[in-house]
Amino acid sequence: MDAAGPRGEDNRTGGKAHGQAGEGPKRPKGRPGRKPGENPQGGIAAKRLISWVGKFRDRINGFFKSASSRQSEDGAIYDNTTKLWTVVLGLLTRRTSRNKMDCDRNDEEYAKNVFKMSGQAWWLDGERKTVPSSETWCRLLSMAKTSRLQMLLIRFARALIAEKLFEAARLCGRLVVSVDGTKVESKRGCLLKGNKRNRYALEVKILTPWGWAVTILVEPVKAYDPKNKKQKQDCEYAAFKRIEKRLKKWFGRYGLVIVADALYCCSPVIEMCRENDWRFIFTFKEGRTPDAYAEAQSLMALDEDGHGPMTRKVKGGLWETIGSLRWATGVKLGDSVVNVVECHQEKPAEEAYYGQFATDLDVGKAAYAQKVAEWGRRRWTIENSFKTQKSKGEDGFGLEHTFCNDENASRAMHLLMQFAHNLWQVFNSGMLRKLAKGCRKVTQSIWARKLCEALHNIDFSDYEPETVYLSREYELEYLTE
Q: Is 320 left (phi over 0), alpha (psi -120 to 50) or beta?
A: beta
Say if 16 falls within a structural domain: no
Spatial separation of the C-alpha atoms in residues 263 and 261, rounded to whole Å:
6
Q: Give yes or no: residues 342 and 432 share one domain.
A: no
Instruction: Give the 3-state secondary structure of residue 194.
Output: helix
Give the domain range for residue 95. 42-143+405-479
Q: Give yes or no: residues 424 and 362 share one domain.
A: no
C-alpha distances in angstroms, 196 versus 106, 185, 413?
A: 39, 11, 20
Say if 79 falls within a structural domain: yes
Q: Give yes or no: residues 360 and 417 share one domain.
A: no
pLDDT tens per residue across span 308-362: 999 998 877 788 999 999 999 999 999 999 999 999 999 888 889 999 999 999 9
Q: Give yes or no: residues 356 and 448 share one domain.
A: no
Instruction: Give the 3-state secondary structure of residue 323.
Output: strand
Q: What share of the chain is helix, strand, coil (3-state, %, to 5)?
A: 45, 15, 40
Say if 291 falls within a structural domain: yes
Q: Is 256 exposed, middle or buried (0-12, 13-18, 19+ CB in 10 A)?
A: buried
Spatial separation of the C-alpha atoms in residues 246 and 229, rounded to whole Å:
30
Say if 413 falls within a structural domain: yes
Say if 386 falls within a structural domain: no
The torsion angle over the Cα atoms of residues 137, 413, 96 and 94, rounded to 10 degrees, is -100
Q: Which of 370, 397, 418 is the last residue of a domain?
A: 370
Question: Quick check: 87 and 416 in contact, CB under 8 A?
Answer: yes
**pLDDT per residue of the chain (481 residues) written in tens, 0 to 9:** 444 444 444 444 444 444 455 566 777 677 777 776 667 789 999 999 999 999 899 999 999 999 987 655 444 899 999 999 999 999 999 999 999 999 989 999 999 999 999 999 999 999 999 999 999 999 999 999 999 999 999 999 999 999 999 999 999 999 999 999 999 998 887 767 777 788 999 999 999 999 999 999 999 998 776 666 655 678 889 999 999 999 999 999 999 999 999 999 999 999 999 999 999 999 999 999 999 999 999 999 998 899 999 999 887 778 899 999 999 999 999 999 999 999 999 988 888 999 999 999 999 999 999 999 999 999 999 999 999 999 987 789 999 999 998 999 999 999 999 999 999 999 999 999 888 877 778 889 999 999 999 999 999 999 999 988 888 887 776 665 5
**Residues 6+ away with beta carbon under 8 Å from 350:** none
Q: Give yes or no: residues 361 and 420 share one domain.
A: no
Q: Give yes or no: residues 417 and 349 share one domain.
A: no
What is the identity of the amino acid at 420?
A: A
Say if 459 falls within a structural domain: yes
What is the identity of the amino acid at 252?
A: G
Q: Give yes or no: residues 366 and 410 share one domain.
A: no
pLDDT of residue 7: 46
Question: Quick check: 261 and 379 in contact, CB under 8 A?
Answer: yes
Backbone φ and ψ for 266, nearest 5 degrees, come out as -145, 160
Spatial separation of the C-alpha atoms in residues 158 and 256, rounded to whole Å:
14
Question: Quick check: 37 and 439 in contact, CB under 8 A?
Answer: yes
Q: Are strands 198-207 and 279-283 parallel, antiparallel or unpaired?
A: unpaired
Say if 66 falls within a structural domain: yes
Say whether pTM exceeds 0.85.
Answer: yes
Q: Which of 352, 370, 388 is the last residue of a domain?
A: 370
pLDDT tens per residue across span 242-269: 999 999 999 999 999 999 999 999 999 9
Say if 434 falls within a structural domain: yes
Instruction: Give the 3-state secondary structure of residue 16.
Output: coil
Burial 299-312 (b: 16+ CB within 10 A, else e): bbeeeeebebebbb
Q: Which of 349, 370, 391 is the last residue of a domain?
A: 370
Query: In the chain, pLDDT over 90 holds for what percent of residues?
Result: 69
Q: Give yes or no: residues 412 and 475 share one domain.
A: yes
C-alpha distances in angstroms, 103 versus 46, 82, 100, 106, 123?
A: 20, 17, 5, 8, 21
Spatial separation of the C-alpha atoms in residues 375 and 372, rounded to whole Å:
5
Question: Quick check: 348 and 372 in contact, CB under 8 A?
Answer: no
Question: Quick check: 165 and 209 in contact, CB under 8 A?
Answer: no
The number of domains in the chain is 2
